[in-house]
Amino acid sequence: MTRVSSTARAAVIVTVVVVALLGSAYVLGRSLVPDQTQRHATGVTTEGDGTHYADQPPEKPSTGTPTGSPTASQSAGPTEAGQDGSGQNASGDKLFGAHTDTGNARLALTFDDGPDPRYTPQVLAILREYDVKATFCVVGENAQDHPDLVQAIVADGHTLCNHSWHHDVTLGNKSADQIRADLVRTNEAIRAAVPDAPIVWYRQPGGAWTYPVVSVSQQLGMTPLHWSVDPSDWQAPGASKIAATVLSQVEPGAVVLMHDAGGDRQGTVDALRRILPALSSRYELEALPTDPT
């Protein structure tokens, strides 16, 4: 009986040692394989036929934290408004002279993040229907991908605005050389589509203005453009809420911020059909001038 017990005990010990060795080998092997979930941490993802920015809801939200939405460790920084109504962004910094109004009694509608093949043509069609001119703050990579839409924007008499190469909210924190390279690259993509179209406005993504980004944009002949009315359509709250916010907050000289790309913009398109008849009856709407002073 003693012999059997010793043999069994030895077998158990050998088994435990083998299992431990196999477990260690597995852990070591896993540590050598790159984490596939950490690739492309750029803040920009491609969803189907459009670009989606990390500070905006995904096209089709799922349960849990939506892909591309801010997490506790990845804040979107300032809201796309970046405003608390005080003329300062969320961090308390001033706008460094960025324009927040038209300088007259007219209203200016502005559309950010495009062009997008799903929503920009719809926005253009509605503006054309009401004979309204607007300002489109285009992202360089989207201008490069859809030069035909940039051409359509200009052909309809709208004004162009540089909105950085890939909607970089942190651009203003980079060196002047990096900022300049980003804005120049964006202008080159726009001019590849419309060589003679003036680009005299620059809008910083997220409204995250800094002195360097304002200074560089001015050196390149562009005027920094902020806004005074933000319906937070980038959060896709629905057409009714977007329209109600715009109509309740506009006043003479307002610059209205909306989006024709960067996420699901159908709510913005639908809201525009409600907004334009009301605004057109109360105000004159204009594209921002191509010779700002």
Whether residue 115 contacts residue 136, with contact meaning beta carbons closer than 8 Å, is answered with yes
Q: Among positive and negative, which fits the CA dihedral 46, 51, 52, 55?
A: positive
Catalytic pick among 167, 168, 259, 260: 259
259 is known as an active-site residue: yes
CA 148, 268, 145 angle in degrees (round to 5)?
Answer: 25
Alpha helix ranges (H) inside 158-265: 176-193, 211-219, 239-249
Q: 264 with 116: CB under 8 angstroms?
A: no
CA distance 87 to 66: 31
Q: Is the dihedral of CA 271, 130, 206, 85 positive or negative?
A: negative
Catalytic residue among 112, 168, 182, 264: 112
**Quick one: the chain helix, strand, coil %, rounded to 5?**
40, 15, 45
**Residues carrying an active site annotation:** 112, 259
